């Protein structure tokens, strides 16, 4: 008996030693490498966007509508792939491998984009303005290489962006004490700060290099940054604490739908019949919620002897699912209407390509020798986001709490609504400014000369970008907080990817809206609202249409909040935090 006890003690020591060995990985030393990987990727990918409309129109001889549509579709792909990346990461590959593969794809994409600028035969011949020859359209091969480079960058973003934040948290989540919580809070702050700074640098420094030194140097910078991103991430591989989720979310949700359909004729048990519903092992017994009640039939135990195995587990997940899995699917379905209200904000923000043409036709000089690059005006959106976050967290909330004598926080849904209102105001201001700019252009005789500079300061564009920034700061951050509080922990990666999915849908819808508006307003040989000649177009009416749609979206949001009802407490979850380290 004594030997057995010693053996047990020895076994415990061995297990503890093994656990300690595993716990040595991770920690603060890995965070700079993860932040550098994510930040360099954002500088590289975002640095390609602001002047892309000029690259496509000048080098590939696309019309403004074609170039804008191409950018819309590229943005849609870039914002959709993070959802796929989150699913693949949590279900199959794990975060480390997903980030590594994504970084490699993004590097290949930026290199291929740089090659289109370096190698002449990869793009159409230059137009001869003197002989007024018709510009050649890009060949199938040239377009294929351009699209492949864009696709590789989108795939890379899908691997990096949904996983970096969680992967960094994995390095710190080793024990649930107060010190660890402080580290996590600091990490999240640094992560979002680095993201904002990276986007700001891409819209200023990278854009300036492109305009000052041309496409060859301007596109070499993103490729070099992505090389550094890949190198820094993989060089720290031995230091990372690598975790791998074991839940196949897509399969699990499909099982709920199939099981609910199979059991559609099964009667509902009494409301307090806890033992009639199947639960995870070691979980508290509960009955499913009454929302989307038809899905509850997926977890009803009709015959314990037939439905359950001898150990209490279900032999067929396609016929019987856990209450927890049913509730996971329910919460996703329930938040979709509120999630959809943020799409209109992203549609408005995605009009940046058109606003670049506004800026190029206005006086952008700050001093006689320096003018703001047209593609850099979007930086005022980022500055507004950063400024509001700092002001809200460090000034407004502390001051309001001090005056009231208790902690004050604006409701999440209220913040989302305020963001939608600011988005509507952004388009109203954009329409007014464009109307004034167009009238000045006509008065100065520039109706047929879209390249002429109107005697109007481009600084008048700043207010609309500031409103866009406030809309993002209120709505996007509040939506993320809402998703994380409503979703179980097992769906945290999906919660993080929903914002990107909304931007993806927004870019697709923006393409449709732009196409429909241009076609419907150009009938009978007329110039549409969004032609190549900005002075002949009616960008102001197009912005006005988006403002009306934004106002209707605000009414739709109010209805969705009423239909959703009260939000769930943030501590409530159905998830399981058990994770294992990858071998």
Q: pLDDT band at residue 261, thresholds of 50, 70 and 90?
A: very high
By mean pLDDT, which of 300-314, 346-360, 376-390, 426-440 is the weakest? 300-314
Q: Which tens digits make up the pLDDT trace of 81-127?
A: 888 888 888 777 888 888 999 999 999 999 999 999 999 888 888 77
- pLDDT at residue 178 tops 80: no
Say if residue 556 is exposed, middle or buried (CB neighbours under 10 Å; 0-12, 13-18, 19+): middle
Residue 13 CB: number of other CB atoms within 10 A? 10
Tell me the mean pLDDT in the region 278-286. 72
**Nearest partner of 506 among 52, 77, 50, judged by Cα:** 77
Tell me the mean pLDDT in the region 304-320. 74
Does 358 or 187 have the greater pLDDT score?
A: 358
Please, where in the chain does CATH 1.20.1250.20 lie? 24-246, 328-565
Torsion of CA 325, 279, 255, 482, to 10 degrees: -10
Does 162 or 99 have the greater pLDDT score?
A: 99
Decide: 78 and 157 in contact? Cβ < 8 Å.
yes
By mean pLDDT, which of 69-73, 144-148, 254-258 is the weakest? 69-73
> Beta 243-244 vs 580-581: how paired, if at all?
antiparallel
The confidence score (pLDDT) of residue 234 equals 92
The confidence score (pLDDT) of residue 430 equals 94
The confidence score (pLDDT) of residue 153 equals 93
The confidence score (pLDDT) of residue 490 equals 65
The confidence score (pLDDT) of residue 568 equals 60
3-state secondary structure of 454: strand
**Nearest partner of 503 among 235, 23, 162, 27, judged by Cα:** 162
Does 1 or 180 have the greater pLDDT score?
A: 180
The confidence score (pLDDT) of residue 299 equals 87
The confidence score (pLDDT) of residue 544 equals 95
pTM above 0.75, yes or no: no
Does 246 or 323 have the greater pLDDT score?
A: 323
Q: Which tens digits make up the pLDDT trace of 373-402?
A: 887 788 888 888 888 878 887 788 788 888
Between the two ends of the chain, the Cα-to-Cα distance in Å is: 36
Q: pLDDT band at residue 343, thresholds of 50, 70 and 90?
A: very high
Q: Indicate the CATH number for domain 24-246.
A: 1.20.1250.20
Does 402 or 583 have the greater pLDDT score?
A: 402
Tell me the mean pLDDT in the region 518-539. 83
By mean pLDDT, which of 128-142, 189-203, 293-307, 526-540 is the weakest? 128-142
**Tokens (6 digits) for 404:** 């009231």
The confidence score (pLDDT) of residue 340 equals 93
Read off φ and ψ for residue 133, nearest 5 degrees.
-70, 150
Q: pLDDT band at residue 456, thresholds of 50, 70 and 90?
A: very high
Does 449 or 156 have the greater pLDDT score?
A: 156
Q: Which CATH class is domain 328-565?
A: mainly alpha
**Nearest partner of 423 among 368, 375, 479, 485, judged by Cα:** 479
DSSP string for 48-106 = HSTTHHHHHHHHS---HHHHHHHHHHHHHHHHHHHHHHHHHIIIII-HHHHHHHHHHHH
The confidence score (pLDDT) of residue 284 equals 67
Q: Which tens digits make up the pLDDT trace of 413-438?
A: 998 999 999 999 999 999 999 999 99
DSSP string for 176-244 = -SHHHHHHHHHHHHHHHHHHHHHHHHIIIIIHHHHHHH-HHHHHHHHHHHHHHHHHHHHHTGGG---EE
Q: pLDDT band at residue 77, thresholds of 50, 70 and 90?
A: confident
**Tokens (6 digits) for 442:** 């006509």
DSSP letter assigned to residue 534: T
Tell me the mean pLDDT in the region 507-524. 85
**Tokens (6 digits) for 84:** 């796929």
Mean per-residue pLDDT of the chain: 81
**Nearest partner of 78 among 114, 41, 25, judged by Cα:** 41
The confidence score (pLDDT) of residue 571 equals 39
The confidence score (pLDDT) of residue 203 equals 77
Buried b (16+ CB within 10 A) or exposed e, 295-330: bbbbbbbeeeeeeeeeeeebeebebbbbbbbbbbbb
Cα 297 vs. chain centroid, distance in angstroms? Answer: 34
The confidence score (pLDDT) of residue 293 equals 87
CA distance 389 to 373: 26
**Nearest partner of 575 among 170, 249, 176, judged by Cα:** 249
pLDDT above 90 covers a percentage of the chain that reads 24
- pLDDT at residue 270 tops 90: no
CA distances from 13 to 7, 8, 20, 368, 579 (A): 10, 9, 10, 74, 22
The confidence score (pLDDT) of residue 423 equals 95
Count, residues in the chain = 583
Q: Which tens digits make up the pLDDT trace of 567-582?
A: 764 334 333 444 445 4
**367 beta partners:** 370
Query: To which H or E segment does residue 581 belong?
Result: strand 580-581
The confidence score (pLDDT) of residue 184 equals 57
Decide: 460 and 362 in contact? Cβ < 8 Å.
yes
The residues, any chain, with a CB within 8 Å of residue 87's CB and separated by 6 or more, are 249, 250, 493, 494
Rg over alpha carbons for the chain, rounded to the nearest Å, is 27
Q: pLDDT band at residue 545, thresholds of 50, 70 and 90?
A: very high
The confidence score (pLDDT) of residue 216 equals 92
Going through 313-471 in order, the beta strands assigned E by DSSP cover 362-363, 365-367, 370-371, 454-457
The confidence score (pLDDT) of residue 287 equals 80
Decide: 325 and 256 in contact? Cβ < 8 Å.
yes
Does 402 or 304 have the greater pLDDT score?
A: 402
């Amino acid at each position: 008996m004594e030997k057995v006890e010693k053996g047990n003690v020895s076994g415990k020591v061995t297990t503890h030693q093994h656990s300690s060995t595993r716990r040595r990985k991770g920690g603060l030393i890995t965070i700079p490498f993860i932040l550098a990987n994510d930040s360099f990727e954002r500088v590289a990918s975002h640095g390609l966007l602001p002047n892309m409309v000029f690259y496509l129109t000048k080098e590939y001889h696309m019309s403004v509508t074609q170039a804008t549509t191409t950018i819309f579709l590229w943005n849609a792909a870039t914002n959709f792939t993070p959802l796929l990346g989150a699913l693949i990461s949590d279900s199959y590959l794990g975060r480390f491998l997903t980030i590594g593969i994504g970084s490699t794809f993004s590097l290949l994409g930026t290199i291929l984009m740089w090659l289109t600028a370096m190698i002449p035969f990869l793009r159409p011949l230059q137009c001869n303005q003197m002989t007024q020859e018709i510009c050649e359209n890009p060949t199938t091969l040239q377009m294929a290489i351009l699209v492949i480079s864009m696709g590789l960058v989108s795939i890379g973003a899908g691997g990096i962006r949904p996983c970096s934040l969680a992967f960094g948290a994995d390095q710190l989540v080793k024990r649930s004490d107060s010190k660890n919580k402080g580290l996590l809070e600091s990490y999240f702050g640094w992560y979002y700060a680095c993201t904002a700074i990276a986007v700001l640098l891409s819209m200023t420094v990278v854009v300036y290099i492109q305009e000052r030194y041309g496409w060859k140097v301007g596109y070499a910078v993103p490729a070099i940054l992505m090389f550094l991103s890949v190198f820094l991430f993989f060089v720290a591989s031995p230091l990372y604490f690598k975790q791998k989720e074991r839940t196949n979310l897509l399969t699990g949700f499909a099982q709920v739908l199939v099981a609910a359909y199979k059991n559609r004729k099964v009667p509902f048990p009494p409301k307090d019949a806890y033992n009639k519903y199947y639960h995870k092992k070691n979980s508290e017994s509960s009955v499913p919620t009454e929302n989307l009640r038809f899905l509850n039939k997926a977890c009803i135990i009709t015959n314990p002897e037939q439905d359950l195995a001898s150990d209490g587990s279900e032999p067929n997940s396609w016929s019987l699912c856990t209450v927890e899995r049913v509730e996971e699917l329910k919460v996703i379905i329930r938040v979709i209407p509120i999630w959809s209200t943020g799409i209109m904000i992203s549609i408005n923000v995605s009009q940046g390509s058109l606003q670049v043409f506004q800026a190029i036709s206005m006086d952008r000089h700050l001093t006689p020798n320096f003018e703001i690059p047209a593609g850099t005006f979007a930086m005022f959106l980022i500055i507004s986001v950063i400024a509001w976050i700092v002001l809200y967290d460090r000034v407004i909330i502390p001051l309001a709490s001090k005056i009231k004598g208790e902690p004050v926080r604006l409701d999440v849904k209220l913040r989302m609504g305020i963001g939608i209102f600011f988005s509507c105001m952004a388009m109203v201001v954009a329409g007014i400014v464009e109307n004034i700019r167009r009238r000045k252009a006509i008065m100065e005789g520039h109706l047929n000369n879209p390249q002429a500079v109107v005697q109007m300061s481009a600084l008048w564009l700043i207010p609309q970008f500031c409103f866009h920034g406030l809309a993002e700061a209120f709505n996007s951050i509040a939506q993320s907080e809402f998703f994380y509080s409503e979703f179980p922990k097992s769906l945290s990666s999906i919660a993080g990817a929903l914002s990107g999915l909304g931007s993806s849908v927004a870019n697709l819808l923006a393409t449709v809206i732009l196409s429909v508006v241009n076609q419907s307003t150009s009938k009978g040989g007329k110039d549409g609202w969004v032609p190549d000649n900005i002075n002949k177009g009616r960008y102001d009416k197009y912005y006005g249409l988006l403002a009306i749609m934004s106002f209707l979206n605000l009414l739709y949001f109010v209805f969705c909040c009423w239909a959703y009802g009260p939000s769930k407490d943030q501590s409530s979850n159905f998830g399981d935090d058990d994770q294992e380290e990858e071998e």
